[in-house]
Each structure stands twice: as structure tokens, then as C-alpha cells.
Amino acid sequence: MKSSTFDFEEERLREELRKRRAKRVLIQLPDGLKPQGPRLAQVVEKAGALPIVSANPCYGACDLGIQEAQSLGADLVVHFGHSSMPSQSEHMPILFMEAKATLPLRPAVQKALPLLRAWRRIGVVTTVQHVEGLDEVRRTLLAAGKTAAVGDAGRLQYAGQVIGCDYSNARAIAGAVHAFLFIGGGRFHAVGVALATSKPTIVGDPYEVRAYSVDQDAERIRKQRWACLREATQAEHFGIIVGLKSGQQRLNEALKIRKKLHRVGKKCTLLAVREVTPESLMQYPTIDAYVNTSCPRISLDDASKFRKPVLTVNEARVVAGEIAWEQLLKKGWFED
């Protein structure tokens, strides 16, 4: 069965529950899909399992409700709205339901064409909701005299797919295109593409059937990051954040950057945290700046909320003298 906008694959859900003989199920949905939680809970219950809908925030496949499910005695997590991360280890059964969008993409591409008129070679990226429509996007661009490039799946599940912290598909083709077209709603992923590639990036939004540039957003963030980095270079004591979410725990990365900062005379304290918030960091007045090894988007998108600099790993490498600011601009803020 389909909602008006997304396909929740309810028949597949019922079949999986029966096949897995699930008895108690934790349902996870990102904020945009949470209104569907009560209805999906009814589907699960009619299939013979006890449904529990997680009301906690859910930011991606890096944020699986494994601890929640274990504490509730659930034997399955049903995670809607994201695809699995191939490198991710799972400590309990996870059923990924990608919630593909059912909207046509051609009208949004047509809205984007006037904004793409200065460029001929276009890189096309999207979220998991629209990957099945990329052929339609290609055909529309080709009909308008453009060429369309789509990056191979690489570390992700699908060709052309991007997620909030991984733009390897876009970076793989950045040298061969003049600009990027992101298909999807909102600015979040498109700004990530612009920051990761330093290429002009246009959004084609199939939900609102409109198009716009995010280049000014990306430039504003670059300026914020330069100011944040300059302040952090004066810091003596760094707090190195180790994420506790299922796909954000990068202790080895934290230990590496700790060693690099020690080499340039910086003091470091490792801090383990599930939710990186201004309130959680305010408890440590002797720490001058932070390095966030969990979700890089917290540093990039929420910088103004924090009283002290919160650096990405690559920015910390600048402080450690490993790379220069100019190299960071070329490399992007996301890990390769």
C-alpha cells in the first residue's frame, strides 16, 4: 500500500514479520515520516507482533535504535526512510524500509533547467527516496542538451545516492562536471554536495516542484568554518567527542586525532556522548574547543548554537598542521 507521497511497502513488511517470527518490534522513522507511525504500528500489530514506535529523533542509518530495542526486549527494529550502510555492523536484526517517493521527477528538473543554463555537464545526486527515478532525470537533461553524470554506488547502496555525511558519489564525478543537480526536498543534502565538491549546486525539489541554488548557503558555512577554525587554533585544551550512536562511534579516529593534537602541544580529553548539544558541552569550562568525530553535520550546520568551536576531523587536521586551509577547501569537510 502507498501513501500519497511515499511507498511504505506494507505487504513486504507483513511478509518479513511473518518470516522472521517477530514478537516485539521497534519502529523507527525520521521526523518527516513520524506522522505515519501510528498507522504502521497497526500494520505490525495485525501481523501478530507488538509494535513500539520510537519517538526519539532519528537522523539516518547511523542512528539505529539498537539500544532502545534491546532495553525494550524487542527482537526486530523496522527502520523507515533510509538504506543500510554496508560497512555498518548490526547487533540485532534490522529491517530497512526505504520509503521510496512516488512523485514524478521531471517537473522539478524542468524547473531547474533555467538555473543550469550556464553549464552543460551536470552531476546528478539524490537521496534513497528518488534513486529509482534517476533515469527519468537523465532523459530530461539530455533532451535539454545537457549531459548527465551519476556516480557509482561506491560505499553507499545505490549509484547517485548521497547521505548527510557521505558525498563520495558526488566527489567521484566532480572533476568531470560543471555543476550538480540534487533531486530531493530541502537544502540539507544539497549544501553537503556543494561543500564536498566546491561545485555550483542546484536543488530540484519534486515535493514543492521548484528549484533554487544553495551556493550562498555553502559560502556562508565556509566563512563560518574559517572563523571557527581561526578561534580553535588558539585553543590549548580540546575535547574530542566520541559518538555513541550505532553508526557514529569512531573511537579509533578520535584516538588518531588526539595523537596529532598532542604532537602540536594541545591537551585533549575524550568525551563520549550520544547527543552532541550545546548543553552537553557547556559542562566543561576548562575545554577551549572540540573535535567532533561523530556526525560532521553538527559542526557544519549548528555552529552558531555552540559557544566554543566544534571542529570536524578534517578541520582538526588543519590545527594539527597536517593539511592547510586551502587543501581543506579542495578536499571538502567530509572524510574520504
| pLDDT value of residue 103 | 93
CA R_g for the chain: 21
Alpha helices of the chain — where are they, by DSSP H? 10-20, 37-46, 66-72, 106-112, 134-143, 168-173, 188-197, 215-232, 251-263, 278-281, 296-301, 313-319, 325-331
- Cα–Cα distance between 96 and 254 in angstroms, integer? 29
Q: How far is CA 89 from CA 82, 245, 257, in A?
A: 16, 12, 23
pLDDT at 336: 58
Query: What is the reported pLDDT for 207?
Result: 96
Position 41 scores a pLDDT of 98
- Across the beta sheet with 237-243, the strand order is 267-273, 237-243, 289-292, 310-311
pLDDT at residue 86, as a whole number? 61
User: Which domains, from first to last, does the chain contain?
Assistant: 6-99 (3.40.50.11840), 106-213 (3.40.50.11850), 218-331 (3.40.50.11860)
DSSP state, residue 176: G
Residues 6 or more apart whose Cβ sits within 8 Å of residue 173? 123, 149, 150, 151
For 26, how many CA atoms within 13 A lie in the half-sphere containing its CB?
Answer: 23
Distance (Å, rounded) from C-alpha 146 to C-alpha 137? 11
**For each successive 10 residues of the chain (336 residues), what is the average pLDDT?**
77 96 97 95 97 93 90 96 72 92 96 98 97 96 97 88 92 96 96 96 97 97 95 97 89 97 98 93 96 92 91 95 91 76
For 207, the grid coordinates are: 515535493
- Residue 273: phi and psi, rounded to 5, are -150, 145
Q: How far apart are CA 237 and CA 126, in angstroms?
A: 39
Phi, psi dihedral angles at 204 (to 5 degrees): -110, 105
